[in-house]
Amino acid sequence: MRSRSAIPADFEAILALNEESVHFLSPLDRERLVALHAESALHRVLLRDDAIVAFILAFREGAAYDSVNYRWFAQRYPSFLYIDRVVVSQSLQAGGAGTLLYRDAFNFAAAAAVPILACEFDVAPPNPVSEKFHAKFGFREVGRQTAGQGKKMVSLQLANTAAFASPIKGADEQ
């Protein structure tokens, strides 16, 4: 598998992947994806045999992003990379794809001298797979809040960038 920057030609595959996991994510349509892509600091796809099997979408502080979870971090931290969503095809989950994309995020943040990565995952309803995944990268809870029109509770998480960044390769060599 290899990763590269997302391009508009990838959007249909990205939307299909998002729809597969929409029960853990907010819905996404093409118009919203175009806007998020333009505002993102990091938007990468993971390819297996030239097919998109996963993606990551992340934002720096100062983005014009209306996510309640992003805004929570923006109100408290001056410099961060917020991982909005990482989506892996259901057929490849637990196969290392998410780890590869998180390594991209840690390396991107380290190269940009961003000290922390921020994210959230559901705790009500619970998402123990995501909780375990984030723990292996050193994420720790710094708060909780309701989201999804009060239908869920999220754990707001931070990780130290330097802890998991690896030597930087060329942007599309990973």
**CATH number assigned to the domain comprising residue 90:** 3.40.630.30
pLDDT tens per residue across span 111-152:
999 999 999 998 998 889 889 999 999 999 999 999 878 888
Amino acid at 118: A
pLDDT tens per residue across span 56-103:
999 999 999 999 999 999 999 999 999 999 999 877 776 789 999 999
Helix, strand, coil shares of the chain as percentages rounded to 5?
35, 30, 35
- Least confidently predicted of 15-19, 92-96, 111-115, 154-158: 92-96
Assess whether pLDDT exceeds 80 at residue 172.
no
Is residue 129 in a domain? yes
Give the pLDDT score at 129: 86
Is residue 174 in a domain? no
Q: Which residues of 96-121 are buried (b: 16+ CB within 10 A; e: fewer)?
A: ebbbbbbbbbbbbbbeeebebbbbbb
Is residue 139 in a domain? yes
Give the pLDDT score at 148: 78
Give the pLDDT score at 140: 97
Q: How many independent structural domains does the chain possess?
A: 1
69 to 95, 157, 172: CA distances (angstroms): 28, 10, 29
Contact 46, 10 (CB under 8 A): no
Dist. CA 52–CA 14, nearest whole Å? 8
Q: What is the pTM of this model?
A: 0.90
| Structural domain of 147 | 2-164
Is residue 24 in a domain? yes
Dist. CA 6–CA 23, nearest whole Å? 23
Give the pLDDT score at 27: 79
